[in-house]
Amino acid sequence: MKNSVLLTCLLIIISYSSCAQDPANEVTIPEKVPFSATLLIDDILAPWGMAFLPDGSLLVTQKTGELYHFKNGKKTSISNTPETYQRGQGGLLDVQVHPDFKNNGWIYLSYASSEGEEKGGHTALMRGQLKNNTLTNHQLLYKASPNTTKGQHFGSRIAFDDKGYVYLTIGERGARDVNPQDISRDGGKIYRFNADGSIPKDNPFYNTKNAKKAIYSYGHRNPQGLVKHPKTGEIWNHEHGPRGGDEINIVKAGANYGWPVITYGINYSGTPITDQTKMEGMEQPIHYWLPSIAPSGMAFITTDTYGADYNGSLLVGSLKFQYLERLEMNGTKVVNREKLMGDIGRVRDVEEGPDGIIYVAVEGKGIYTLTPTK
């Protein structure tokens, strides 16, 4: 067993230097791109999430606790945002708008919250409504527990599906051997709620004794990408691996995505986590990265704004290598990877606007638009 673990570790390390042999693990730099990157908002230094209102204006969260509304070239600070737990990767995180916002006005926020008996914080989901540049009618929909003073792996992406269910990712909060495989505990999970925060009775573990009824899938590490597929309606996620093994998955009810029992990554120290990359009853990713790019933010291109070749591509931000990655898809298979906006900075989020333009949030810089040049 020990030799098997060491062999697996060695093979993974070797793959870092040989990944160019596999097109799915080779990122190329295109000679020409059909856009120019323009800095739209230059004074949001810690952007985390973005969402568009029906009028085309933009909401942006800043990890330090601010929510901004950008409309007609003007940035307005929204008051009365939730109090956040500021530690490590925690703070004010994602923002999404209800699909029927025109009629109900609901805005959803994920954030690190210290609410609870224990010291520290954990991921929470709330909703509120905008009135005169103030977030009103706060409703706490979910608060994970127990709190911990660890500063990593809050997850926190939000997405809606075609039926109006809202999904939330929560990372395993640095407790890899405790949370991800235990459905009686929060952390290392993707959750599904009704829009009002109640739990759908057809959730996979709703009738399972001691289970957290909101869990939809488990065995996740730190998912910071979540998006609805524009054609199939499936919810796709990506999540951070350790050293290697970032993953893209299609979220399925009740599915176990394996962390930390199976992984294509190793410890940051270079030691093995496990000798298993596959196991019966655990899902395989549709794509994994070697080496890790530290993915954050995720969006499909759904128009020909940048040409037919870009339509259907998946965009993912890289925190580690500081670029925007375009993944050319053939169904659920990645057939080509391109490095866009090289060395721009840590790309935290990416969204396609209702105008068909791509918006990119970059830490330390602000919000960029990709203006078509074709």
Helix (H, G, I), strand (E, B) or coil at 102: helix
How buried is 112 (Cβ within 10 angstroms: 0-12 exposed, 13-18 middle, 19+ buried)?
A: buried
Here the tokens at position 169 are 């990712």
Give me the catalytic one of 98, 153, 238, 240.
153
Q: Which residues pair with 268 in a beta bridge?
A: none
Q: Catalytic annotation on 98?
A: no
Integer CA distances (angstroms), 124 to 144, 193, 221, 242, 313, in order: 6, 13, 17, 24, 31
CA 235 to centroid of chain Cα atoms: 11
Cβ neighbours for 145, distance < 8 A, ≥ 6 positions apart: 116, 118, 122, 186
**Other beta carbons within 10 Å of 104:** 11
**Other beta carbons within 10 Å of 374:** 9
Torsional sign, CA 10, 11, 13, 14: positive
Work out the end-to-end distance of the chain between its first and last CA atoms, rounded to an integer number of angstroms.
56
> Cis peptide before 260, with omega less than 30 degrees from 0?
yes
**Other beta carbons within 10 Å of 80:** 12
Amino acid at 79: S
Half-sphere exposure of 326 (CA within 13 A, CB side): 19
Asked if residue 249 lies in contact with residue 256, where contact means CB atoms within 8 angstroms, the answer is no
Task: Give the active site residues.
Answer: 153
